Amino acid sequence: MRSGWAGRERPSEIKPAAQQEFLRTAAEAGLFEIEASRIAIARGGSAAVRRFAEATLRDRVSIDTDLQQLAESVNVALPSQVGDTLRARLAVLASLTGNDFDRAYARNVGIIAQEEALLAFERAANQEGERVERFAASQLPGLRKHLEWARQLAAELDRTSMA
Amino acid sequence: MNLPVAPGATGAARNQCSAGTAAHVVANPRSARAERTLLVRIVEQTLDAMEPMVVRILRDEAVSAEHALHIVVMDPTCDRRVGFEDAILLERSFGDPAGWNADYAWYAREKTRVSWRERRSLRTLLSQCPDRLNAGDIRVEGAVRDGVWIIGASGAQPWYDHAIASVAVHLLEAALAQTSAAAAAESRAS
């Protein structure tokens, strides 16, 4: 039996709908950030954006791996692709180039997606005693640090474009 | 199609169309992000390309008694948390809105509103899941959802509203894919 939040739940423990929703939302957000960051690594105009994208990809793949294990342990099926809205955002992002791309990536993936992820993880972490909540709480410091980095990156890109 | 003027309709005033031109465009005045600018450009180009076909179809009074059509295009990057009005990307009128007896902009928005809420085409809702409709919901087809796009139309017979919205949806799906492919090619070349 695995230990920690990835250990197998007892069969009698039925996951509340809110936890299932959190796992699926977090998984879809992860897929979005991973795909967007892959595009940014290939297409980012500035080295700072590519560095941020590489870190985002590395962190998100790590979170996604843990999330998959956790979901499996509590018998929740996760989405294998993003929904229509995020698919549209990826398509639009992939249609931008140069500074437009950098700023859109920093804002939409770095800040907005991170803020939404942080909010979802904070909500999930506010309930104590369950594996899902412990998992969410364990990710909060990394998410907050990454969001701060994204805000600095976006501000720097805005300053550069205005110069 | 002759529809009564909707009581209390505000659409005609809001779309700020002036008389005498073939097509009028009103883009949602939200902040001009590069992503939104790109989407508006793609939609405008697509509707420009469709215009000769639409105008030709609207010439037939049996299809549209007032030679009218109003189209509402939703922003595909907005999710349900965004209010309907804020998620409208762009609207366009074909014909002369000032001469219309019915407020087709209002009808097009009401169709689109239901389709946006349910994330389904009105044809699908009406035929397969009418239980999803609320009291007060418009019950005429002419709003289409396919892939990431939701588009509503009003002014012609409902089956033509549906057909024209469908054409727009499929062309926009292709245009977005094309733009993305072109950007990828440009990135590889640079």
pLDDT tens per residue, range B103-143: 999 999 999 999 999 999 999 999 999 999 999 999 999 99
ipTM over cut 0.90: no
Q: What are the pLDDT digits (tens) for A25-71?
A: 999 999 999 999 999 999 888 999 999 999 999 999 999 999 999 89
Describe chain B by its helix, strand, coil percentages, rounded to 5: 45, 15, 40
User: Is B78 within 8 Å of chain A by CB?
Assistant: yes
pTM for this model (two decimals): 0.79
Interface probe with B: pick from A84, A89, A161, most Cβ of B within 10 Å: A84
Question: What does the pLDDT average to over B2-20?
Answer: 34
Give A53's contacts (C-beta < 8 A, 6+ positions apart). A36, A37, A38, A40, A41, A44, A105
Q: What are the pLDDT digits (tens) for B24-57?
A: 555 554 444 788 889 999 999 999 999 999 999 9
Q: Which residue's entry shows tokens 């031109």?
A: B21
Residue B114: per-residue pLDDT: 97
Instruction: Spell out the alpha helix ranges (H) of chain B.
Output: 11-14, 34-58, 104-118, 122-128, 158-189
Span A15-162 CATH architecture: Up-down Bundle (1.20)
Asked if A96's CB is within 8 angstroms of B34's CB, the reply is: yes
User: Is B84 within 8 Å of chain A by CB?
Assistant: no
User: Is B151 within 8 Å of chain A by CB?
Assistant: no
Give me the residue from B76, B78, B187 closest to A42, CB to CB: B187
Give B183's contacts in chain A (Cβ within 8 Å): 43, 94-97
Say how far apart CA A47 and CA A53 lie, in whole Å.
10
| Kind and range of the H or E run holding B93 | strand B88-94
Of A103, A97, A120, A112, residue with least CA distance to A147: A112
Q: Has residue B11 got a pLDDT over 90?
A: no
Which of A12-21, A76-85, A86-95, B120-129 is the least confident region?
Answer: A12-21
Which of A29-33, A37-41, A73-77, A150-154 is the least confident region?
Answer: A73-77
Q: Has residue B61 got a pLDDT over 90?
A: yes
Say how far apart CA A154 and CA A149 lie, in whole Å.
9
How high does pLDDT run on average in chain A?
85
Q: Which residue's entry shows tokens 């902040």?
A: B31
How close does chain B come to A109, measured CA to CA in Å? 13
| Residue of B20 and A122 predicted with greater confidence | A122
Residues of A with CB under 8 A from a CB of B: 42-43, 84-85, 87-89, 91-97, 100, 103-104, 107-108
Residue B129: per-residue pLDDT: 94
* Contact of B75 with B28, CB cutoff 8 Å: yes
How high does pLDDT run on average in chain B?
85
Say how far apart CA A74 and CA A20 lie, in whole Å.
9
Which of A6-20, A142-156, B59-73 is the least confident region?
Answer: A6-20
Interface probe with A: pick from B172, B187, B190, most Cβ of A within 10 Å: B187
Of A133, A16, A39, A148, residue with least CA distance to A86: A39
In which band, very low, low, confident or very high, does the pLDDT at A8 lie, cut at 50, 70 and 90? low
In which band, very low, low, confident or very high, does the pLDDT at B15 lie, cut at 50, 70 and 90? very low
Of B85, B75, B87, residue with least CA distance to B42: B75
| Residue of A134 and B12 predicted with greater confidence | A134
Interface probe with B: pick from A95, A119, A158, most Cβ of B within 10 Å: A95
Say how far apart CA B182 and CA A153 lie, in whole Å.
27
Using CA atoms, how far residue B40 sits from A84, B28, B104, in Å, is 18, 9, 21
The number of helix segments (H) and strand segments (E) in chain B equals: 5, 5
Residue A129: per-residue pLDDT: 52
Chain B, nearest residue to A87 by Cα = B148
Of B160, B126, B120, B119, residue with least CA distance to B140: B126
Q: Could you give all domains of chain B from N- to C-terminal order, each with its CATH number?
A: 12-181 (3.30.450)
Amino acid at A11: P
Of A58, A86, A65, residue with least CA distance to A149: A58
Q: Has residue B79 got a pLDDT over 60?
A: yes
Give me the residue from A84, A94, A104 closest to B148, CB to CB: A84
- Strand-pairing partners, residue B154, are B70
φ, ψ for residue B54, nearest 5 deg: -65, -45
